[in-house]
Structure 1
Amino acid sequence: MTFKQLGLSDALLKAVSKQGYEKPSPIQQKAIPPVLEGRDVLASAQTGTGKTAGFTLPLLQILSQTETSRQRPIRALILTPTRELAAQVHENVRQYSEFTDLRSLVIFGGVNQKPQVAALNRGVDVLVATPGRLLDLQNQGAICLRKIEILVLDEADRMLDMGFLRDIERIMALMPAKRQNLLFSATFSKDIKRLASGILNKPVLVEATPENSTVDAITQKVYRVAKGKKTGLIIKLISEGNWNQVLVFARTKHGANKLCKSMISSGITAAAIHGNKSQGARTKALAGFKSGQISVLVATDIAARGLDIPLLPHVINFELPNISEDYVHRIGRTGRAGASGEAISLVSADETTFLRDIEKLVGEKIPVTILEGFEPDPNASTQPIKQGQGRSNQSRGPKKTSDNSSKKSSRGSDSRSSSRRPKSRRD
């Protein structure tokens, strides 16, 4: 199968070739044809399998087939849960549309809105946005969605987890009822299927990999360790392994900052990225990590959603997520695009239940290692960590994340209240 056989235009084929892609991935092979046919699509694919191109390429082709008007109203809207993912998706849109006449723009909070408004005034065909900033600008009269032809909800599972349901409903009410809808998600939870049933019209169901499966190229390993010895162990692994690019997941903003400081004190170049960091600081940290100036990026789940680091060799769960599906997404940051990767989890006694649930979800027993000097505490309780702002792993409703921040006005950020998850941090 080739991209040409999928029916893509010469302009898109030229752009794809320039990016070095020779043949479509499974999700692209399955998603592109029905999208080109104008069908609604509900798609699930393992992260790193190319699902962004699965909706971006056909979307651009559909828009290119109609002559653009001088006013250039927004004709396609791509909603993403986080700033980093929005930036990543827009970069893909920009690359693939290089040889077309289409204009695109990305908008999100945490940065000055004036350049975004100026670009909107010049006319935009494809808009990539986070819900908070989109609604802010719409309320100010800077955005009109009455000409939307295609709506894409990317990483829809995370949008629900972050409490964006009410915002999504408000945004849909601003668009024409007759439009093409594409819903892409890393997982197919009951909430996702419920959301899809209210948005999609006779959708084509596309699955490139079994639900919640882990990529075969990822080697998974668990280190059983006493809770108080985790910091020492992770520093030992990174230092003695001479690892130069490691993405570390912490559960809270405070924990991410604390771990980052410990690593820096031990001579490891590190930076933390989470919801309390300014967009400038987040962009700088990510750029340093990608360039190799920073060896370790310590992130919370919200800030890390959508991070795309080519050939990332190592992911470490400093703390296990209490939501099993988040584990699949975390380790999916490595082993992307056919490359191999290693995912390591540091598991203390109080995370035993989380580990068992994760193994049940992924359908395999993860090998366990114990290092001398970092043994688990035999007297520690195996009772699950108290998640004052979390949810039960069996709960399918939106969860409260511990990566929350103080109350702010939604203007200039992507924080907004939700009827299903009030006062939550909205990236």
Structure 2
Amino acid sequence: MRYLRLIIFLGAMLSAFSSTAQRTYQGITLQLDTLKNLRDAPINIFVPEADQVWGTDNSIPDSILWKWMVQREYAQMKSSHKRTGSARSSESNTDTSGMNCPNLPDALYILTRCQHDTLTISLLRRCNPSLDLDKEIFLSYPIDSLKNWTLQNVPDGALSRITINYPHCINNKAVKIPLEFYLIPVKDKNASFSDNRVNQMPLFISFEKTRVTEFSNAHLYFSKRKYSSPDNIGLNIKIFENGAFHKNKIVNKLRYKDQYKMRDTFSIGSKLYQIDSISHNWQYAYLHVLKDSVQQIKLSPNSLKILAPYFKNSDKMIVDFWGTWCNPCIEKLPALKTLHQQTGEKYNFLSVCVDKPENTDKAKAIFSKNKIAWSQVFVDMSKYANSIVGELEVSCFPTYMIINKKGEITFSGCGTDGFNTLQQLTLKN
């Protein structure tokens, strides 16, 4: 009988534990879809090189052979990550320059042709003899429709997603990996070509692998440019909610980002979730709901030690992240000075200048010109990743934060919207 009671007791305990675990970590599976339109998607586009143009001056050309330097685009993306301090060591085994794989194709060539009232876009074997295309690709569009299309009004489903196997250099070996992209033959008001013929038959490319899912009145966009690393590495997630994409800010103990990574916590509505993984075929994303409804957002002890000397007349501090290269930061200094005068003894103020070391005197001169009385500290922008700025993932300038003496971040916002919210929070208290 005693053993029976013990078994019943243990069973009840395990049942309770299981129930609690389910309440804390409710697994969610989301089906991912390809993009139905590019208007609202957070895609990046670039302009390939017009390698050859056939046609008379100032008229719609007969044909254009476009040259897409795939390896160069990857290399530029990689160097850009390094400049911003966001390169990951786990991706360092990929050589995107092709330096150690001399037999890689120099480019992908795309042919556009104007035939009567139709524009055709082709990926042909004869234009890409070293690529060994699995199949040739042909797209066609009515020219009259293209004249009215822009990146902002392309009809749903008008642009086709293309996937080809393209060789990348991995561990000094050429390996074919699916390259997913869109060819976009529409005009963009922000881009123009020196050759007017090209302006009349433009072409843009988006080569991010992108999927979207709808979840709890929001849209989650999963995207990735690099296919030479595991799916969870280099994956970016953007969230569209209440008519706008999430931006870097902290409000009501909830942290929002303009770009989330795997294992990040995010908020939709009043709930917190964590992104766990994505299936290898990009059909499903997996996440779970968290028990907590707020996030504990705190500085590390090392970063708090940097701020500690500047907590003087209050246990709260307004921190302004700026740089001499940032005109909006400088333009906001007079308004920030006024806020400093209005808040009196309630808040300490500190500015963190993220800049090149040689601009230290310039930063001091700007403060002197604006008669700024509070202190500032300097962060070498080349050491972003290992600084307080990197820890807080400050990528938008100016950024304003409210931090208390315990290192808890109660607010963060960027630009004019961030400053306006900062005013509202500080002046009402």
Whether TM-score is above 0.5 comes out as no
Structure that is richer in strand per residue = 2
TM-score w.r.t. length of structure 2: 0.24
> Of Structure 1 and Structure 2, which has the larger fraction of its residues in helix?
1
Q: Which structure: larger Rg?
A: 2
